[in-house]
């Protein structure tokens, strides 16, 4: 073994560097390297251990990596410590900034929510409160441009909460500052241009942002990370936005933004109850172009061919079994079946066949874009928003007297058998006055929204569009006039009345409906008790106007049909009847995918009749709910959801 040793052994690192530097400078290319003086040999740990030969440095002068230098470590440590301190300071600053911003946003949103709650209790304060709500919402929404806030939204868990707060603030800000306030300013501007033509561009401009925010806040609302203080506010705003987005998406189209639209407005008379509301014997054709409304034509029962079936409408066998030949042959019976799309189709065909050919400017059913129904009950609600309306007769119609005036007083003033044109003219003038009041936007906006909502909830306002892209936005909503087809959310029972006396006696009819649901492990049972009470004394009935009495029995008795529609997925198990003359007409009909119990009650003035239908089914059923004919005298009763069997 060679006894050669490391030429640099025994030297310090600094000496080694100096030697190598001199070596590199003094040695010509290709010459042997300068060997430094040897240090004393270092004893080997084992005589048996062979020493590896030393490989001299390459002629290129490249030196092998030197062992770590403590001085360099200390130097590097001193270099990055200031950046660490800066990073910690920045992180603390961001956290403090987020905390301050969160408190500011929380304060602004809470103040906005308090104002909203106040407006809900006092609608007259809306105009004064809206700018303040907008100010607070706008202040909260400034986090949208805060880079620290937006960056923090990427943090797991906390990010969803920050994002939810931001989107809630943005949604209120856009709804108030970009939609409600500009629209109100236009309504109050005093311009001669129709108000909706001025509001429509505002709706058009804000619609994409409303739809975008609704989609984003819906996704955040689904997060399980939202904490207690954040969850209620996000859920509330999300609920509003999910209703607003579809509505604002179709409003421009409904108001004729792109092309004129034509609607048939059907006035339902609840004094003669018929299924969805009342006799549908009065219609008004309305056109809207760029937000400007105009009455094009009007029709009444005298304009229609009674008893002649429509050729272009197919009546299902189930509907014919329940409603007979009158359904599809008389326009006032078009509302009998509790399915507004079918009614909408039927009244447009009646209009096309009997009215349109007699009027130069009347649209045919092929030109009608949709059908709206409204009754005097809803009209009374709307008058809460518009205030009193002065009629050509000298009457002042208010929310307090609208139902009495339109469903009772009119028949005491004029004999509708002898002077039908006067009665029809009165109803037409009422429609015109109300229409002009609404079209001029001379009303309290918040009160109007509340009134329309009440009308829809009461079953007094329905709408159907013949355009699929519009109709899809209202499918499943109560305003569509369609009984629910699913029991997932609620299990809805339907109870509908139809006067079969050719009278207007339902001004005096009282009704009560109780629905009791009992649940078991295998399914549910629904017991539906319906009571009718003709609340008028015989003497008072004897002096009623002839048009109010029965065309068949005078004041001696009146016949009312009761249709009880069971919950989908159930069968009719049993029926019971109580009264002087009550009979079961059909119990074997399935209509609208529901089992139906069809009764007839004969009531003399002052009498009471009660019918009970029991339905049961296997599977899962949501809690019981009820839809019924809106009556002049509000229907009473209780709906008791699932009571688990022992």
pLDDT over 70 at 72, yes or no: no
> Above 70 in pLDDT, residue 142?
no
Three-state secondary structure of 118-145: HHHHCHHHHHHHHHHHHHHHHHHHHHHH
* Maximum mean pLDDT: which of 45-59, 227-241, 471-485: 471-485
**What local confidence, expressed as pLDDT, does residue 122 receive?**
73
* pLDDT average, residue stretch 283-296: 87
Burial class from Cβ neighbours inside 10 Å (0-12, 13-18, 19+) for residue 371 reads buried
Residue 145 has a pLDDT of 56
Alpha helices per DSSP H over 472-557: 538-542
Alpha-carbon span 264 to 355, nearest angstrom:
12
Q: Is the model more confident about 433 or about 548?
A: 548
pLDDT, position 133:
77
The proportion of the chain whose per-residue pLDDT surpasses 70, expressed as a percent, equals 76
Residue with tokens 């604002």: 248
pLDDT at residue 43 in the model:
39
Best-predicted range by mean pLDDT (134-143, 289-298, 563-572): 563-572
- Mean pLDDT (whole number) for 284-302: 86
Mean pLDDT of the chain: 81
Q: Tens digits of per-residue pLDDT, 7-19?
A: 655 666 666 666 6
pLDDT (mean) for 87-112:
52
CA dist 633 to 59, 404, 506, 509, 628, Å? Answer: 112, 11, 8, 7, 13
Separation CA 282–CA 133 (nearest Å): 43
What's the half-sphere exposure (Cβ side, CA atoms, 13 Å) at 277?
29
> How much of the chain exceeds pLDDT 90, in percent?
44
Q: Which 8-state DSSP code applies to residue 352?
A: I
Q: Please, which residues bridge with residue 513 across strands?
A: 530
For the record, the structure tokens of 6 come out as 């490391």
Look at residue 298 in the predicted model and tell me its pLDDT: 87
Q: Mean pLDDT check: name the lowest of 176-180, 288-292, 438-442.
A: 438-442
pLDDT in tens, 341-391: 999 999 999 999 999 888 876 666 568 999 999 999 999 999 998 899 998
pLDDT tops 70 at residue 210: yes
Q: Evaluate the CA torsion angle 472, 474, 476, 479 in order and state its sign.
A: negative
Strand-pair partners of 524: 519, 617
23 contacts 51 by C-beta, under 8 angstroms:
no
Residue 616 pLDDT greater than 70, yes or no: yes
Q: Minimal CA–CA distance to 560: which of 602, 504, 596, 530? A: 602
Q: Which pTM value belongs to this model?
A: 0.77
Cα–Cα distance, 564 to 562 (Å, whole number):
6
Q: Rg of the chain over CA atoms, in angstroms?
A: 40
| Secondary structure E strands in 481-593 | 491-499, 509-519, 523-534, 558-565, 571-578, 581-591
268-272, 420-424, 598-602, 617-621, range with the lowest pLDDT: 420-424
Burial class (CB in 10 A: 0-12, 13-18, 19+), 604: middle
Cα–Cα dist 403/550, whole Å: 21
Ranked by mean pLDDT, which of 144-158, 295-309, 573-587 comes out on top? 573-587
Q: Euclidean distance between the first and final Cα of the chain, in Å? A: 100
pLDDT band at 293 (very low <50, low <70, confident <90, very high): confident
Kindly state the tokens that stand for 185: 């300013």
Is the predicted pLDDT of residue 149 greater than 80, yes or no? no
Question: Pick the residue with more confidence: 611 or 384?
Answer: 611
- Higher-confidence residue of 225 and 451: namely 451
Smallest Cα–Cα separation from 534: which of 506, 554, 512, 556? 506
Residue-level pLDDT at 509: 98
pLDDT of residue 22: 66
In the predicted structure, residue 541 carries a pLDDT above the cut 60: yes
Highest mean pLDDT among 392-401, 467-476, 628-637: 628-637
Instruction: Give the model's confidence band at 162: pLDDT under 50 very low, under 70 low, under 90 confident, else very high.
Output: confident
Greater model confidence, 469 or 46 = 469
Has residue 160 got a pLDDT over 60?
yes
> 71, 63, 60, 68: which is closest to 8 by C-alpha?
63
Question: Does 33 score more than 70 pLDDT?
Answer: no
Which candidate, 366, 185, 188, 347, places its Cα nearest to that of 268? Answer: 347
Q: What pLDDT, on a 0 to 100 scale, did the predictor assign at position 82?
A: 57
Determine how β-strand 389-390 pairs with β-strand 396-397: antiparallel
The mean-pLDDT minimum among 40-49, 61-70, 249-258, 300-309 falls in: 40-49
């Amino acid at each position: 073994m060679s006894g050669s040793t490391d030429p640099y052994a025994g030297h310090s690192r600094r000496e080694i560097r100096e030697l190598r530097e001199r070596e590199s400078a003094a040695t010509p290319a290709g010459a042997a390297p300068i060997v430094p003086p040897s240090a004393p040999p270092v004893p080997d740990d084992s005589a048996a251990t062979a020493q590896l030969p030393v490989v001299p440095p390459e002629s290129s002068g490249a030196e092998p990596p030197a062992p770590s230098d403590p001085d360099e470590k200390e130097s590097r440590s001193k270099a990055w410590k200031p950046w660490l301190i800066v990073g910690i300071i920045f992180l603390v600053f961001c956290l403090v900034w987020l905390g301050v911003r969160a408190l500011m946003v929380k304060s602004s949103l809470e103040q906005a929510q308090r104002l909203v709650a106040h407006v809900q209790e006092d609608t007259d304060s809306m105009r004064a409160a809206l700018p303040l709500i907008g100010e607070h919402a706008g202040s909260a929404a400034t986090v949208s441009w805060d880079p620290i806030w937006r960056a923090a939204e990427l943090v797991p868990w906390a990010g969803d909460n920050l994002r939810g707060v931001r989107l809630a603030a943005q949604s209120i800000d856009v709804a108030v500052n970009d939609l409600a306030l500009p629209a109100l300013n236009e309504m109050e501007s005093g311009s001669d241009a129709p108000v909706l033509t001025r509001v429509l561009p505002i709706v058009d401009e804000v619609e994409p942002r409303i739809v975008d925010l609704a989609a984003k806040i819906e996704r955040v609302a689904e997060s399980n990370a939202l904490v207690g203080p954040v969850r209620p506010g996000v859920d509330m705003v999300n609920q509003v936005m999910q209703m607003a987005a579809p509505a604002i998406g179709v409003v421009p189209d409904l108001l004729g933004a792109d092309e004129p639209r034509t609607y048939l407005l059907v006035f339902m008379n609840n004094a003669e109850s018929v299924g969805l509301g009342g006799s549908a014997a009065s219609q008004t054709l309305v056109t809207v172009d760029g937000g400007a409304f105009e009455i094009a034509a009007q029709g009444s029962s005298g304009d229609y061919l009674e008893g002649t079936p429509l050729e272009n409408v197919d009546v299902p066998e189930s509907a014919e079994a329940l409603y007979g030949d009158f359904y599809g042959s008389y326009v006032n019976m078009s509302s009998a079946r509790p399915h507004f799309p079918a009614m909408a189709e039927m009244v447009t065909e009646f209009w096309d066949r009997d009215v349109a050919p007699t009027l130069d400017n009347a649209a045919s059913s092929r030109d009608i874009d949709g059908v709206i129904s409204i009754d005097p009950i809803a009209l009374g609600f709307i008058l809460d928003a518009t205030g009193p309306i002065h009629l050509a007769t000298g009457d002042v119609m208010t929310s307090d007297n609208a139902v009495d005036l339109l469903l009772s007083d009119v028949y005491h003033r004029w004999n509708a058998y002898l002077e039908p044109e006067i009665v029809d003219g009165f109803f037409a003038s009422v429609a015109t006055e109300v229409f002009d009041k609404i079209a001029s936007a001379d009303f309290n906006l918040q009160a109007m929204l509340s009134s329309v909502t009440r009308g829809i909830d009461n079953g007094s306002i329905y709408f159907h569009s013949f355009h699929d892209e519009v109709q899809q936005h209202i499918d499943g909503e109560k305003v569509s006039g369609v009984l629910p087809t699913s029991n997932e959310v609620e299990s809805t029972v339907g109870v509908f009345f139809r006067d079969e006396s050719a009278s207007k006696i339902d001004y005096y009819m009282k009704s009560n409906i109780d629905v009791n649901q009992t649940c078991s492990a295998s399914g549910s049972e629904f017991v539906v008790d319906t009571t009718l009470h003709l609340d008028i004394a015989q003497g008072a009935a004897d002096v009623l106007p002839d048009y109010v009495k029965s065309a068949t029995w005078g004041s001696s008795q009146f016949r009312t049909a009761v249709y009880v529609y069971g919950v989908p997925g159930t069968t009719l198990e049993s029926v019971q009847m109580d009264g002087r003359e009550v009979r079961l007409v059909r119990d074997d009909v399935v209509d609208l995918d529901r089992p139906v119990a069809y009764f007839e009650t004969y009531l003399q003035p002052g009498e009471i009749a009660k019918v009970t239908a029991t339905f049961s089914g296997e599977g899962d059923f949501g809690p019981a709910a009820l839809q019924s004919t809106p009556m002049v005298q509000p229907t009473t009763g209780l709906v008791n959801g699932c009571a688990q069997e022992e």
